[in-house]
Amino acid sequence: MWRRAERYPLKPPLALIDDPQSPPAGARLLNQIQNPQAPGEHYLFFANNGGLSILRSYAQPDGQHQYEQSDFPQRFVDWFAPALRDFRKPAVQDTSSRLSSPAQEVGGEMLTLERGMAVGGDGSQGYIVNNWSRKRYLPGLEGHFMPMNVAWTEDFLFNGGLIRLLSDIRF
């Protein structure tokens, strides 16, 4: 059976934040934002034992909230906007423009940007950030590797205030 393997040395997982109202020791809420394009979905940004944990929270049909945690280095907040600006440049200005960027070392972790064609679930275009230094937990597929990642629509990034919020985060 084919198994996807990690490309870079893996970092140990950050503390799991399964209840944002009562985060574990070493984790504190930095900021949060509601996604105006997706009712019931919001993102919480935590300083987590020297790293950055991004929690996506969304309501399930039974009214319970589901949380998905992705971990990044703290330098993610300073890296993201300039990296996205460079990634979006037309090929005439920057020959590295493509659907996926080469891996970049950010705060000791390897990150890539990708163009997403249906990140919002409704066919909305956006961007995906993969952290190749952190493994996403996949129930039942513990032997497989998938990078931790976040995916945001263009509308949420540029019109929903997410870029502004990220630039305001201070550790």
108-153 confidence digits (pLDDT tens): 999 999 999 888 777 889 999 999 999 987 667 677 788 999 999 9
3-state secondary structure of 23: coil
What single-letter amino acid sits at 83?
Answer: A
Q: How confident is the model at residue 5 (pLDDT cuts 50, 70, 90)?
A: low
What single-letter amino acid sits at 15?
Answer: A
pTM: 0.89
What single-letter amino acid sits at 35?
Answer: N
Instruction: State how far the Cα of 157 lies from the Cα of 36, in Å rounded to an integer.
Output: 11
**How crowded is the C-beta side of 70, counted as CA atoms within 13 Å?**
19
Look over the chain and give the mean of its residue pLDDT values, rounded to a whole number. Answer: 89
Whether the per-residue pLDDT at 156 is higher than 60: the answer is: yes
Whether the per-residue pLDDT at 2 is higher than 70: the answer is: no
Average pLDDT over residues 45-50: 97
Strands annotated E in 35-102: 41-48, 51-59, 65-73
Max alpha carbon distance in the chain (Å)? 50
Average pLDDT over residues 72-98: 82
- pLDDT value for 72: 98
Domain 27-168 class, CATH top level: alpha beta
- pLDDT value for 91: 65
Rounding to the nearest 10 degrees, give the CA dihedral for residues 85, 164, 51, 49. 170
Instruction: State how far the Cα of 59 lies from the Cα of 62, in Å rounded to an integer.
Output: 8
- pLDDT value for 17: 96
